[in-house]
Chain A
């Protein structure tokens, strides 16, 4: 049942082709039923999971490799599942109003359902490899969603960028998982967590940690991998609201949380995760201030908020983990609502440029209130849910488990990042909705709020107020179970609006005061930020350059390698053969010339071998084609004699016929082929040819000698055939029986080859030269 629930979004996609033509725009309501039902379904697990009893279901998938499709639904997974389905419901409902008739609705809703299913898979699975598969599915489906308006070049650019960066991280993460498997011998998350102390002590710990963090950081857009997120804003606004509030970017946070008990608690984890998180918090909020596009504002704000949560996971204290779980919930609600509000503004006025917007509160008062509530919550203004989690963040930053410079640096960074957060939140509200309209040509299409799109953000904003006033509502049922799931043991913290007069409150006061001053003097701050960050060299330029560079190298390599000359390809093949086989032979010490099991060699054999060698050399050096062909036939004839000498009568007979026929054939074609010219080749090329040829020949000789000397097998490997030829095959000539009986199918293949060759020869000879018709 649980499995069907998780796969339900995937299954629902198959209904869309039938529903879209019937329901048209209303199809969104049908789609919204899926997350609504799932939300209710998952909510039904709250009592059990909050009671400390996770739901575990196991389906065997590839038991040979230890890959089970196991479902592990604890507090952490449940929190994410509820956010994914809950936000999913609001986003899909919102999209009904946002997307017009002409959009490709079928594509949109199937992508979003597929994405939802992938996200659910990521957070509910108990197996790392299954997690990896769903993880990459989210990358692929988010690529489709971001590139939904694929006719716009910039959408395609953003989609490709997000895919390249997150898939790069995903592959690194897969390598990290394999390291974990090497350490623990299991892909099962619970087994790995149970061996947490071994993992941390193992010498593979650091590589595993770094690789997995790469996966989490790229997905969660942490510095310096954040660059894909602003470009991903080219997606339709419902997609941005979904991907960047509750889902895609939260997958990275989920991974951090999930593996905290196995990987966390060490100095490496602490400094890497909280360091990167705090840096991202400061950098993201700092960069947000100078944006002019409202969605870019929210993009950088998302980056910085993700940094905050990442830092909390890095702190690895009980309080920090509880704060992180709480802030994940809050961020999903306020950021989802903010994206929707921005989408409404864009939809109604046709622009998102903060420089030309203003005074919108007169046209859409309720929208303005929603924007105010959610932005204030993000800024951490008291009485809203964001304030509670931000207070916890400050408290956690003051109670770090590690001593040293981090003790004062990390709280300072927390405050600094929060000041800019406060500032851009204020700008978002007052510059757009407050003041006077800056550009009279830009005004909403009609007076009043657009309720078809407004009701989802209204509900989300009221959640912010309610939870802000009564944080206890979610404390027991969502936040603490999630924190316990992260921590690996029960976590008891108290979420409260009022903690008394203490340092965190002082920090909040500083943030609000300085943030307000910055907001008043925003011109100066923005020009300062622009002075620091210039356009010529930044990470985006690096990304673009590296793509161009990659293309150039690939082109260069292809041109070098794919010359179109047969000779060059052969040179590559033989060189590679000589180097790889010869290299292995020498490196592995396979060269063995001592224990040869040689047969007696008489003068007869020596004479034959000499003739063969002479004939072969003759083919090379004889000046006319007639002589060369005859020389080759000579070699063939001597090989026949060899077969006789080596007790292989069948071979001798066959070879004799074949040699005769091929000589005739050669001579038939002879008349039509040009005389061998003296090869005009550069000395150096000739030398290269000779070296390659000589190396191949030498290698073959060495291989044979070593093979003989090593003697891995019995002298005769065909015992079975010798024994069974008469009873089973009914023939005395074992070679013949092997060919036509034991290996009859092979021989049939051989006959097929001959027939095809014969047909080809016939058609080539008979073929009239079609269009040109100038031959013969």
Chain B
């Protein structure tokens, strides 16, 4: 699991370092997947049942990481959507998605 997450981070970082805006957005998504998996892994894998009370389960998965991740997923979604639209707008406006060519518009 750790190795898989490591690879997720590697590819994510690599994508973020590239020039294309789309790749950067994809990269952030992958990094956030990695981070979510990291959190739940650190909480211990498969050490108990789902954190639902009253079902006769005595040992639970730690609910706290799950709560954290739930927040993270939603925020990540908002981030991605925003970045996506930003990329779309900047492409429509500036005619490129290469960040090295984005040097501000005339009417900045």
Contact = CB atoms under 8 A, between A and B. Distances in A.
A704 B53 contact: no
A650 B16 CA distance: 29
Contact of A658 (B38, B45, B55, B77): B77
A47 interface: no
Contact of A718 (B6, B14, B46, B64): B64
A757 B78 contact: yes
A767 B18 CA distance: 28
Most interface-central of B24, B48, B69 (chain A CB within 10 A): B69
A716 interface: yes
Given A646-B61, A673-B87, A651 B99 contact: no
A628 B22 CA distance: 10
A605 B85 CA distance: 35
A500 interface: no
A619 B11 contact: yes
A346 to B, nearest CB: 53
B40 A704 contact: no
Interface string B17-33: 11111111010011001
A722 B60 contact: yes
A73 to B, nearest CB: 59
Given A739-B67, A739-B70, A739-B71, A696 B9 contact: yes
Contact of B63 (A619, A655, A674, A738): A738
Interface string B71-103: 101111111111011111101110011011001
B26 A629 contact: yes
A635 B29 CA distance: 10
A565 B61 CA distance: 43
A707 interface: yes
Contacts of A734: 51-53, 60, 63
Contacts of B48: 647
A753 B77 CA distance: 10
A609 B4 CA distance: 6
A609 B105 contact: no
A567 interface: yes
A764 B19 contact: no
Nearest to A613: B7
Most interface-central of B5, B22, B40, B67 (chain A CB within 10 A): B67
Contact of B51 (A632, A698, A722): A722
**How would you classify the secondary structure of chain B's contact residues: helix, strand, loop or mixed?**
helix
A616 interface: yes
Contact of B107 (A716, A757, A771): A771
B63 to A, nearest CB: 4
Contacts of A612: 4, 8, 33
Given A612-B8, A620-B15, A704-B42, A761 B50 contact: no
Interface stretch (A16-24, A424-432, A464-472, A685-693): A685-693
B107 to A, nearest CB: 5
Given A609-B1, A632-B30, A734-B53, A570 B16 contact: yes
A769 B95 CA distance: 14
B1 A735 contact: no
Nearest to B1: A609
A658 B74 contact: yes
A693 B14 contact: yes
A499 interface: no
A634 to B, nearest CB: 11
B33 A635 contact: yes
A673 B89 contact: no
Contact of A679 (B2, B18, B85): B18
B38 A647 contact: no
B79 A565 contact: no
Contacts of A601: 1
Contact of B17 (A673, A693, A772): A693
Query: What's the interface size class on A, roughly?
Result: 35 or more
A536 to B, nearest CB: 45
Nearest to A776: B92
A693 B8 contact: no
B82 A761 contact: yes
Contacts of B100: 565, 567
Interface in A733-757: 733-735, 738-739, 743, 746-747, 750, 753-754, 756-757
Query: What's the interface size class on B, roughly?
Result: 35 or more
Given A651-B69, A693-B11, A679 B30 contact: no
A730 to B, nearest CB: 11
Contacts of B51: 647, 722, 733-735
Nearest to A621: B11
A699 to B, nearest CB: 8
A722 B50 CA distance: 11
Contacts of B17: 567, 570-571, 574, 689, 692-693
Contacts of A725: 53
Nearest to A701: B6
Contact of B3 (A694, A701, A757): A701
A697 B81 contact: no
B82 A760 contact: yes
Contacts of B44: 597, 599, 715-716
Nearest to A645: B46
Contact of A694 (B10, B30, B77): B10
Contacts of B47: 599, 715-716
Contact of A646 (B45, B60, B79): B45
A351 B33 CA distance: 77
A651 B70 contact: yes
A761 B81 contact: yes
Contacts of A649: 50, 52
Contacts of A676: 20, 22-23
Nearest to B79: A757
A717 interface: yes
A665 interface: yes
B14 A690 contact: yes
Contacts of B53: 722, 725-726, 732-734
Contacts of A567: 17-19, 99-100
B93 to A, nearest CB: 6
Interface in A598-631: 599-601, 605, 609, 612-613, 616-617, 619-620, 625, 628-629
Given A666-B84, A672-B91, 8 more contacts: A597-B44, A669-B87, A674-B97, A700-B9, A734-B60, A760-B85, A765-B88, A765-B89
29 contacts: A567-B17, A567-B100, A599-B44, A620-B14, A629-B26, A632-B26, A632-B30, A639-B37, A647-B46, A647-B48, A647-B51, A650-B66, A666-B84, A669-B87, A672-B92, A673-B21, A673-B88, A693-B12, A694-B10, A697-B10, A697-B11, A698-B6, A721-B63, A722-B51, A739-B70, A750-B71, A753-B78, A754-B75, A772-B107
Interface of A: 564-567, 570-571, 574, 597, 599-601, 605, 609, 612-613, 616-617, 619-620, 625, 628-629, 632, 635-636, 639, 642, 645-651, 654-655, 658, 661-662, 665-666, 669, 672-674, 676-677, 679, 681, 689-690, 692-694, 696-698, 700-701, 704-705, 707-708, 715-718, 721-722, 725-726, 732-735, 738-739, 743, 746-747, 750, 753-754, 756-758, 760-761, 764-765, 767, 769-772, 775-776
For the complex of A and B, the 8 pairs showing the least CB-CB separation, nearest first, are: A697-B10, A701-B6, A757-B78, A693-B14, A718-B64, A734-B51, A693-B13, A734-B63
